[in-house]
Amino acid sequence: MKKRKIITIVFIIILFIYCTAGVNTAPIENIAIASVIGYDLEKDTNKDILYKIYLQTYIFGERNKVFNKTYSGTATSLIKSREERQLKLDKKFLVGLEKVDLISEAYAKHGISTIIDALFKIPFVNDTALVAICEDNISDLLDYKIEGYPTSGDYIEGMLKNANQYNFFAKDLKILDLFISLGIEGRSVKIPCIELSEKVPKITGECLFKNDKMVFKLDMKDSRLLNILSTNNSTGILTLQEDPGKFIDYYAKVRRKVSCSKVNDVYNFTITLHLKGDIISNELYKDIMKDPKTVAAFEKNMADDIKANCNEFISKMKNQYKLDCLDLGRVATAKYGKDTGADWDKIVPNSNIKVNVYVKVDNQGRGDY
């Protein structure tokens, strides 16, 4: 029995030495842990492109106090900017725990492939960090102090994580999702845009990309329609309103299904949307609590309104954006095969796209007051 205990202790010691061998350790006070990494572009006097990378970090002081500081580096390449930044950094930089990656509009319009390539090659970066496009100067957003949060990055992370609750955004968008969207045929890149509004960071729309370059920014109305048409199991509030005093609010989850057919080289897509949810406010249909016909009338009117708005967005997509921002090419490749050289940004806007909408009221609340 005693011999077995000795063997067990020796095994634990050997295992500990093996697991910790080669691991560099340092006091927490000497480490800068990233909260946000920001990517921006500048031009020098010769109008050559310079990459400016921001690093918002947690700084740990005495008695568990947490501060934040933002460092930046500017160079002729994305990787070389780290060299210049490190010259200003008085602590060891720890990557892999960053919560948000912010990309400026200028960088997004230039192309994000350099970011994706650099991050993909580094095994210890956090590929679950959330992504957003920054309409303002990144430094202004990072330097903005928000009461109750150690860094602005903590607030932005929560804002992006919870954006799906009322505006039909996808659950979240991570660096890993960008890897997938850029690497799979028929997928498009869509990234939320944030700016300082009313003294706090705010999501103001969604940015559309052609390959790795940002080409359009949608307002919130079109962003909501985009997400209703392209995201499955998204949730949000929809409103029917006749005038300021007559309206009804409907909180619903959307299930999306897409079918595809091809006739004489012309693609036909049918997007079917099933909405199911609760009436959370009603100043329009007074008899809806006791009359099934009124419920049916609301369901039809809401479905017609959603369908009309979706068709309006699809018309914009075909004639203005000229992109497959609904990922319909992915459905077509699943049925007819991939690697055919098809340009879905050209094919989909010239396809027939039909939308079917079905609305179901699940709950009408506790009653009328």
Q: So what's the pLDDT on residue 27?
A: 56
Q: Point out which residues pair with 273 in neighbouring strands.
A: 256, 357
H or E segment and range at residue 182: helix 175-183
Kind and range of the H or E run holding 140: helix 138-143
**Cα–Cα distance for residue pair 244/247, rounded to 1 Å:** 7
Give CA separation, 88 vs 70, 91, 96, in Å.
10, 9, 20
Say what the pLDDT of residue 64 is: 67
Note the Cα 67 to chain centre separation in Å: 27
Per-residue pLDDT tens listing for the chain (369 residues): 555 655 555 455 555 554 544 555 555 566 778 889 999 998 776 778 889 989 888 877 676 677 788 888 888 888 788 778 777 777 777 777 889 999 999 999 999 988 888 887 777 778 889 999 998 788 888 888 888 888 888 999 999 998 888 899 988 788 888 888 888 888 899 999 999 887 788 999 999 999 999 999 999 999 999 999 999 999 999 999 988 888 999 999 999 999 999 998 899 999 999 999 999 988 888 888 788 899 999 999 999 999 999 999 999 999 999 999 999 999 999 998 887 888 999 999 999 999 999 999 987 665 555
Q: How many angstroms separate the CA atoms of 290 and 30, rounded?
A: 67
Q: What is the pLDDT of residue 108?
A: 94
Structure tokens at 189: 């890149």
β-strand pairing of 213-218 with 200-210: antiparallel
Contact predicate 270/331, CB 8 Å: no
Helix (H) or strand (E) holding 266: strand 266-282
How many Cα atoms sit within 13 Å of 75 on the Cβ side? Answer: 15
> Residue 93: what pLDDT?
73
Nearest to 57 by CA among 98, 102, 113: 98
Domains plus CATH for the chain?
Answer: 24-218 (no CATH), 231-369 (3.30.300.210)
